[in-house]
Amino acid sequence: MARERSPKWEQARQMFVDSKVQMMLKDIGEKLGVSDAQIRKWKREDKKKGIDWDALANGHVTNGANSHVTNQQPNAPPKKKPHGAPKGNDNARGNKGGNGAPRGNKFAAGNSGGGAPHRNQNAYRTGEFAAIWMDALNDNEKAMLEKVDTDPVESVRREIGLLEFREFRMMRDIEARKSGLNDKQRRVLQERMQVKEPQQVHNDRTGETSTVVVKREVMAVTQIEETEMRAIDDILAIEEALTRVQDKKIKAAKTLADLLAQEEKLAMDREKLELARKQVELAEARLDFDIYKETRKEDPDDDETEGDGFDEAGGSNASSAWEGWTEES
């Protein structure tokens, strides 16, 4: 027979829940006349059965063995989070609402898609990555575009020329700064201040003259700084930039050499192709001539073969191919 449950068990649980976890198990045991170990055992046994004292004290309704799950239907849909601002908020304070853009405005003129208009320049900053449309160019830009030489060799040569000019200017700036390495820099700070000036005031009625202090605002020099600034920092910065320019020039020169080598190779390939074509023409002419000789040997008195028109069949190509040809060749 199972042992009857002590009524102090329910009392201990209720005291713990009513205290909102503030009452210690030792204090509950003292009030009920049991040890704190017994109270701890009751709490542990209840948790195994799905009754969590801490969850009950914090206001959670337990659900069977899952003591930390609130009492919710297993197949119930999840609660939807409410949309919009919470009730009673002041987010729209001062907004009359309902008016929108003024009547008759031209804010969306020419915009039929709801977004930015086609070919817009909203993101234009420096023009480095700006899109260029041919039909959007003006007459001057179109004329300039027609004069641009797109030959790769000429383009690289112009780039090398510009880099050399830039290199010359940078070296000139370095020499100019080396001539005066101890430049003085003067900084003068002026502030608006009130000054007191005594002025003589004559009273015509009494004939007396008195001194009156008058305040007025003037721009006064409050601070003067004079420092010696070495131009070596500027020289080092220019030399570093000069190194980058020279690297670009070396790369451009290498590109030019590669382009010239490619052009030379293409010219040689064209010559080889032309030579191969002439050799094919020569071989065809020889074949035609051999056929002509065999025909003459078989029937030398045949008028038809005698006037077979070999020269006409070979044409100008055959005649030109046989020029300077001998039996040894």
Instruction: Determine the straight-line distance between the first and last CA of the chain, rounded to whole angstroms.
Output: 130
Residue 209 in domain? yes
Q: DSSP assignment, residue 63? A: B
Residue 14 in domain? yes
Mean pLDDT value across the chain = 75
- Please give the pLDDT value at position 96: 66
Q: Give tens-digit pLDDT for 45-96.
A: 888 888 888 888 877 555 444 444 444 444 556 666 667 777 777 777 766 6
Q: DSSP assignment, residue 134? A: G
Residue 279 in domain? no
Range of the domain at 215: 182-227
Q: What is the pTM of this model?
A: 0.35
Of 194, 227, 260, the domain-final residue = 227
How far is 53 from 59, CA to CA, in rounded Å?
10
* CA atoms within 13 A of residue 128's CA, in its CB half-sphere: 2
Q: Is the dihedral of CA 78, 83, 89, 91 positive or negative?
A: positive
> How large is the angle between the packed helices 25-32 and 36-48, nearest 10 degrees?
110
Residue 62 in domain? no
Taking Cα atoms as reference points, which of 72, 227, 258, 226 lies closest to residue 156?
258
Residue 17 in domain? yes
Number of domains comprising the chain:
2
How far is 170 from 240, CA to CA, in rounded Å?
10
Residue 298 in domain? no
How far is 230 from 87, CA to CA, in rounded Å?
67
Torsion-angle region of 261 (φ positive above 0: left; ψ -120 to 50: alpha; else: beta): alpha
Of 195, 227, 259, the domain-final residue = 227
Return the CA Rg of the chain: 52
Q: Give tens-digit pLDDT for 208-252.
A: 888 888 888 887 777 777 665 556 777 788 888 888 888 888 998
pLDDT tens per residue across all 329 residues of the chain: 456 778 888 888 888 888 887 888 888 888 888 888 888 888 888 888 888 888 888 775 554 444 444 444 445 566 666 677 777 777 777 666 666 666 777 766 666 666 777 777 777 665 656 677 777 778 888 888 788 777 888 888 888 888 888 888 888 888 887 776 555 566 677 777 778 888 888 788 888 888 888 888 887 777 777 665 556 777 788 888 888 888 888 998 999 899 899 989 999 999 999 999 999 999 999 998 888 888 887 766 655 444 444 444 444 454 554 455 554 44
How far is 18 from 11, CA to CA, in rounded Å?
10
Residue 88 in domain? no
Residue 205 in domain? yes
Of 211, 227, 243, the domain-final residue = 227
Q: Is the dihedral of CA 85, 88, 94, 97 positive or negative?
A: positive
Whether the CB-CB separation of 188 and 224 falls below 8 Å is answered with: yes
